[in-house]
Amino acid sequence: MAECHPVGFQWVMEAKARGAKVIHIDPRFTRTSAVSDVHVPLRAGSDIAFLGGIVKYILDNELYFREYVTAYTNAATLISEDYQDTENLDGLFSGYDAATGTYDTSSWAYEGHDGGESRRGAVDGAGATGDGEHEAEERERAAGQELGNRGANLEHSEVERDESLQHPRCVLQVLKRHYARYTPEVVEEVCGVPKELFLQVCEAVTVNSGRERTTAWVYSVGWTQHSVGVQYIRGSAIIQLLLGNMGRPGGGIMALRGHASIQGSTDIPTLYNILPGYLPMPRAEHASLRDYLGSIGSPGQKGFWTQAPAYTTSLLKAWFGDAATAENDYGFGWLPRINGNHGTYQTVMDMLDDKVEGYFLLGQNPAVGSAHGRMQRMGMSHLKWLVVRDLQLIESATFWKDAPEIATGELRTKDIETEVFFFPAATHVEKEGTFTQTQRMLQWREKAVSPPGDARSELHFFFHMGRMLRERYEGSTLERDQGLLSMTWDYLEPGESEEPSADLVLREVNGCHLAGDEAGRPLSTFVEMKDDGTTSGGCWIYTGVYANGINQAARRTSWREQGGPWLAREWGWAWPANRRILYNRASADPEGKPWSERKALVWWDEEAGRWTGHDVPDFPVTKAPSYRPPEGASGPDGLAGDDPFIMQADGKGWLFAPSGLLDGPLPAHYEPHESPVRNPLYSQQSNPTRLNFRRKDNLSNPPVTEPGNDVFPYVFTTYRLTEHHTAGGMSRWVPYLSELQPEFFCEVSPELARERGLENLGWATIVTARTAVEARVLVTDRVVPLDIAGTVVHQIGLPYHWGVGSDAYVSGDSANDLFALSLDPNVLIQECKAATCDIQPGRRPTGPDLLRFVEEYRSRAGVTVETGNALLTLPEATA
Amino acid sequence: MSERGTTSWYGPLDPAPDAGWTEAPPRKGFFTDTSICIGCKACEVACKEWNAVPEDGLLMLGSSYDNTGALGASTWRHVAFIEQPKALGPQEAGFAGTAAGPPGSDVLNRTADSALTGDRTALGTDSSRLEVGPAGLGAVDLGMPSMTLPGSVDGAQRTDFRWLMASDVCKHCTHAGCLDVCPTGALFRTEFGTVVVQDDICNGCGYCVPACPFGVIDRRAGEKGVTKNAGIAQKCTLCYDRLGDGLQPACAKACPTTSIQFGDLDELRERAEKRVEQMHAQGIPSARLYGEDPCDGVGGVGAFFLLLDEPEVYGLPPDPVVTTRDLPAMWKKAALAAATMLAGAVAVFVGGGS
């Protein structure tokens, strides 16, 4: 965090100064470790074993927050008799279909629920087919991503519970059995973390959780960029729910994002499979709005997702204005549909197959920043046109003349027909707008200076492109053009002809009343949204950011003027409804009293008959703790007075995920796609549902389960340095930053340096089945070899900021060129935080010799298209 | 306050009034608390941005994450990164029980040092002469016995480790040698008690360079007319222009963890002493202040530090003395000698005439 988020890290230092204990778990000793109380070096790709070990420690020693767990989680809920755990199936869950590499998840359902029905919702719920086709299709559209906020469906909210937590099929007992083998000894064997050190972490985390104290977990892409990335986060979610650290001050799980507004770009998404506010993208089979809404949530479930019709209708009204009517499904038919995986990596492969004509890159440099850089560059060379909007002529804009593939002869400039349009972009200080950060807080920024020359804001670019497109299509009567022509497209302030107003956009996002006396008044909360076309709103979770016609995100009241430093509710605005801590009903006990005075956040005021406190209550404000819904009640009305997780279909925190995840209801440790270590926990080596691509241009190093793996004996991981920003577009062109870290380097331990004859400041060549890159060597005690079950595993650290090009102030080989593509099935994120490689002293060959050099490695390791692609690795008898 | 010095060449005093400023504001300075430095180098960048100091070399030094090297004419803030096989108080480095062998830090530090020494000249850090690499360095002998399994040699494993980071800067001495020897008046004492070079007055004579007991001030390398202020002595101004506008220096403003604190020196000293006590209570008895003592060899500095070990660990002189300390005595002796000689000569003439 100190490395990549130095500004946010000031608060960790502040907490430390007040007595907080800071534990840093990372393969390398980094700038964060340098100021932490404890550093835990672990093997890249082994975190689930570590987290699972903590879960077992909590359960074995009965250190969970019993009242919290019983009342607020699904610990007491019974699971279907059909469910079989990894304990029974040697690393698989029940429902695995080897033919498709997917699970039929129906057996993971709650007792009395039909998983297939509930998962599919009302429309396409034709019953579980069990042939995995449906799950394969879900993976194709990264279905897990849609659940990023809304949680998974349940057919209804009635569940069978055993409040004593003793029933063998209640979640807590399932959890106990599942993690039974995650002993401290196994953690040591898998992660290379000495038992004593691991137990020190367990003790610190549990001692610091309970009524009086809370613990927070902070993660970043070191957790997400794995073929089991989603399950890493689930691991910490289970720990936090068991310890009662959710919905309470000082608790939670914080995702640190890679850029200033990555949170904003998922809320109002740049992702292919979601609409604003985590509504799913319509699919081809959704003929009508009704079909679509039926797939979002079942009317029988609890919580606010049952209000999706209001959120969706308001979104359509914001986009299409008066043209959206009840008669035309509010323009639902004009929305584009998806029919499969259109994620970034699939799109690149579609480019290679000449299925994609054009590509927009906005502040993204895939030639350097995306995994398997060669495939990215080769893909772009197949395009007809490419638009790059960036601050500088990044490598993705100049690949046609200076890509590494030009040097090797794989590409020739004169053969590349891609027409590249470069648009200089305004920086964040040259335009107004909001940032949404990891706390979901929107902060409005004023424009400080005008952009230089031809540089313009994204808003300017898209507004005028939309304007010109609409002019081109004006008068068209073709049905397919009506969506474009019907859009509301009025973002210019009166008298302005050039720069659109971000303020007007934010107003549209907030939404307003459209009918009656209140017509034109901004909505104050998403609860006011209607499904009858009388309200608009461009992103339901952002509704309230313009409450009372005031830009709430622009508020800058210092905490000193707000009576205290820790919530400061009048600084910016946090979605939803300016809540600073989500699910904060859980900060009070089932009767509505704070668990402790020290950790009081919101509570039930019996006299006033409402929830009150320091934060905006994340609960129906007048619903008493003792309230129990009548039988059959659903939606928000179905929430009991002690159901704090109001977006979940049963109002409870999910220790066990009965639906929604495609690779298991509980996190299980799987080795990375490329690993030098055999999975010590199960016969199943890696995530059996990961998405691989069997292609000649996407070859994998042999995993330990296949011959030839000794050719690539080392683990490498990638990361950022404080001095640079991601793929370098904002730092490698800046002399003052470039001189601080001028060259691509690899970090190795003295032990590996000796083993391979690497010299400090000398050169090293790092090789995988994809390519070889060269880096300067930094030998450091900060990297330690780990003892993994008697074998020494060396790890190599590679910062990924450099790229091969001709325009940057400093350049170098790109670490991301080393990766093969293997994706998490839930959200299709690439595994680029753990893979295998070889390292040799000296510089790499250049020109066509590089290809021959890598080919030699491949043939020595016996790499074919099939290498590493066997998803199921169980012995025949078991499978 | 201990006894005051007898002259303004040595001992404690308030430098601005001593330099003739009437109604000077309280003396300003930096307290750099290295215990909370995270090595982000924002101070280096902010300083260069604000003061338009040129980029001065795209060299990787192989010295941990430090690719700046040292303070100089084009580096007014420098963050040192020190990797050592030693424990930092109660901190748990996490290496015990891993397959780690003996430490390599000491050897690596020596080679990094040798790459730096001998290449600093009176004209600043000459990038072209700093070229380092395997050819210049030779093989790095990590001093380890050959072994199959690292850590298999009893007692050879590294367990303790610390990574110290510290942002160094001009100390703005109470008794500033650079200022004392400047023949042109380019260096002067400001009303804030700081020491500033006026680049339009400096003639590049270079007297100030060896006069600095910390090796801070330097003349900027480069070609006249190409590089800004080439040949001119340059160093931190404590952002004199910002101070005049009531702003804090750029580095302090940019520091995310308040490792660099700016303010009235008296107040900073009080704050720093409390912080040292706190560090001692937290089990880091080696925490100490550096440069805050008005009775030290430079009369105390305006930019002092909290260090976590001996100053030498950070490349700072343990007992700096203003190079002009003995000037009054020397002049006295020289005057006495001259008078004696004169008297002798007169005596000779007088005697000779008799």
CATH number at residue B23: 3.30.70.20
Q: What is the pLDDT of residue B185?
A: 95
pLDDT digits (tens, 9 = 90+) for B326-344: 777 777 888 888 888 888 8
Q: For position A524, what pLDDT does the model report?
A: 97
**Residue A88 domain-assigned (yes or no):** no
Contacting residues of B for A36, CB less than 8 Å apart: 91
Cβ neighbours of B105 in A, within 8 Å: 780-781
**Does one domain contain both B293 and B253?**
yes
Least confident of A146-155, A416-425, B276-285: A146-155
Residue A803 has pLDDT above 70, yes or no: yes
Q: What is the 3-state secondary structure (H, E, C) of A482-548?
A: HHHHHCCCCCCCCCCCCCCCHHHHHHHHHCEECCCCCCCCECCCHHHCCCCCCECCCCHHHCCCCHH
- The 10s digit of each residue's pLDDT in B20-65 is 999 999 999 999 999 999 999 999 999 999 999 999 989 999 899 9
Nearest CA distance, B180 vs chain A (angstrom): 33
Domain shared by A632 and A697, yes or no: no
Query: Which residues constitute the domain of residue B341?
Result: 327-354
Same domain, B283 and B342: no
Cβ count within 10 A of residue A19? 7
**B332 and B212, same structural domain?**
no
Task: Specify the pLDDT at position A394.
Answer: 98
The answer on pLDDT for A116 being more than 70 is no
Residue A821 in contact with residue A828, Cβ under 8 Å? no
Across the interface, whether the CB atoms of B133 and A737 are under 8 A apart is answered no
- Chain B neighbors of A199, CB-CB under 8 A: none
Return residues 234-293 of B near A (CB < 8 Å): 256-258
Same domain, B212 and B225: yes
CA quadruple A401, A404, A408, A414: dihedral, nearest 10: -20
pLDDT score, position B300: 94
Structural domain contains residue B133? no
The string of pLDDT tens digits covering residues A213-247 is 999 999 999 999 999 999 999 999 999 999 999 99
Three-state SS for A367?
A: helix
| Distance of alpha carbon A71 from alpha carbon A586, whole angstroms | 10
Kindly indicate whether the ipTM for this predicted assembly is greater than 0.90, answering yes or no: yes
In the structure, what pLDDT confidence band is assigned to residue A879 with cuts at 50, 70 and 90? Answer: very low
What percent of chain A is modeled with pLDDT above 90?
87
B132-181 pLDDT, tens digit each: 333 333 334 444 433 344 444 444 688 999 999 999 999 999 999 999 99
Query: Are both A615 and A697 inside the same structural domain?
Result: no
Distance CA(A753)–CA(B146), nearest Å, equals: 12
- Per-residue pLDDT, averaged over B91-96, amounts to 94
Note the pLDDT of residue B119.
45
Report the CATH number at residue A837: 2.40.40.20
Residue A9, token pair as written in the block: 């890290």
Q: How confident is the model at residue A688 (pLDDT cuts 50, 70, 90)?
A: very high
Q: Is residue A656 part of a domain?
A: no
In this predicted structure, the answer to whether residue A113 has a pLDDT above a threshold of 90 is no
Looking at residue A424, what DSSP letter applies?
E
Nearest CA in chain A to B83: A781
Measured between beta carbons, the chain A residues lying within 8 angstroms of B63 are: none
The range of the structural domain enclosing residue A604 comes to: 584-644
Check CB contact under 8 Å for B60 and A760: no
Is the minimum CB–CB distance between B150 and chain A shorter than 8 Å?
Answer: yes
- Please choose, from the candidates B237, B236, B205, B198, the residue with its C-alpha nearest in 3D space to the C-alpha of residue B219: B205
Question: Do residue B308 and residue B342 come from a single domain?
Answer: no
Contact at CB, B103 and A739, closer than 8 angstroms: no
A269-285: b (≥16 Cβ within 10 Å) or e? bebbbbbbbbbbbbbee
**Is residue B141 in some structural domain?**
no
Spatial CB neighbours of A787, under 8 Å, sequence gap ≥ 6: A192, A793, B98, B99, B151
Q: What angle do CA A749, A753, A756 make, to 5 degrees?
A: 135
Is the confidence at residue A148, as pLDDT, over 50? Answer: no
pLDDT of A362 strictly over 50: yes
Whether residue B225 is found in the same domain as residue B268: yes
Tell me whether residues B58 and A13 touch, CB distance under 8 A. no
Q: Hey, is the C-beta of B139 within 8 angstroms of any chain A C-beta? A: yes
Asked whether the beta carbons of residue A34 and residue B38 sit closer than 8 angstroms, the reply is yes
Residues in chain B with CB shorter than 8 Å from the CB of A197 are 92, 94, 96-97
B232 and B337 together in one domain? no
Contact A738, B58 (CB under 8 A): yes
Residues in CB range of B267: below 8 A, 6 or more apart:
none
Judged by a CB distance cut-off of 8 A, whether residue B109 touches chain A is no
Same domain, B100 and B174: yes
* Nearest residue, CB atoms, B38 vs list A35, A763, A810: A35
Residue among B64, B101, B257 minimizing CB distance to A751: B101
pLDDT at residue B106, rounded to an integer: 79
pLDDT at residue B190 above 50? yes
Residue B344 lies in a domain: yes
Judgement on whether residues B116 and B214 belong to the same structural domain of the protein: yes
Q: Considering only residues 60 to 79 of chain B, which have any Cβ-Cβ distance to chain A shorter than 8 Å?
A: 60-62, 64-65, 67-68
Residue A514 pLDDT exceeds 90: yes
Over chain B, what is the mean pLDDT? 85
- Which pLDDT tens digit goes with each residue over B245-272? 999 999 999 999 999 999 999 999 999 9
How many whole angstroms from its chain centre is CA A239? 19
Is the per-residue pLDDT at A141 higher than 90? no
Average pLDDT over residues A421-433: 96
The verdict on residue B145 lying in a domain is no
Number of domains in chain A: 2
pLDDT tops 50 at residue A613: yes
Which positions in chain A touch B257 (Cβ < 8 Å)? Answer: 6, 9-10, 13
In chain B, whose CA is at the least distance from the CA of A41?
B94
In chain B, the number of structural domains is: 2
Q: Check whether residue A722 and residue A640 sit in a common domain.
A: no
- A576, A225 contact by CB (below 8 A): no
Best mutation site among B257, B274, B279 for testing chain A: the one with the most A CBs within 10 Å? B257
Whether A158 is in a domain gets the answer no
Q: Which residues from A are below 8 Å from B97, CB to CB? A: 194-197
With a cut of 80, say whether residue A806 has pLDDT above it. yes
In this structure, how many other beta carbons lie within 10 angstroms of the beta carbon of residue A859?
Answer: 11
Residue A447 has pLDDT above 90, yes or no: yes
Q: Please give the Cα distance from A276 to A289 (Å, whole number).
A: 16
Residue B191, chain A, CB below 8 Å: the answer is no
In a domain, B135, yes or no: no
Q: Within a domain: residue A345?
A: no
Residue A790: inside a domain: yes
Nearest residue in chain A measured CA to CA from B139: A759
Last residue of a domain, one of A612, A629, A644: A644
Please tell me the least confidently modeled range out of A62-71, A250-259, A347-356. Answer: A250-259
CA distance A573 to chain B (A): 23
**Is B142 in CB contact (< 8 Å) with chain A?**
yes
- Asked if the bond preceding A576 is cis, omega within 30° of 0, the reply is yes
Residues B206 and B279 in one domain: yes
Same domain, B197 and B260: yes
- The C-alpha of A136 sits at a distance from chain B's nearest C-alpha, in angstroms, of 41
A705 shares its domain with A845: yes
**What is the per-residue pLDDT across A816-849, written as a single tens digit (0 to 9) for each?**
999 999 999 999 999 999 999 999 999 999 999 9
pLDDT at A166: 97
Please tell me the distance from the alpha carbon of residue A575 to that of residue A269, in angstroms, as a whole number.
15
**Which pLDDT belongs to residue A145?**
53
Q: Is residue A250 part of a domain?
A: no
Is the confidence at residue A595, as pLDDT, over 90?
yes
Report the SS3 class of residue B125: strand
Give the separation between CA A684 and CA A314, rounded to whole angstroms: 47
H-helix segments, A61-170: 66-72, 86-89, 115-120, 133-140, 143-150
**Single pTM value for the model:** 0.92
Same-domain pairing of B54 and B165:
yes
**Cβ separation B58–A738 shorter than 8 A:** yes
Are A716 and A605 part of one and the same domain? Answer: no
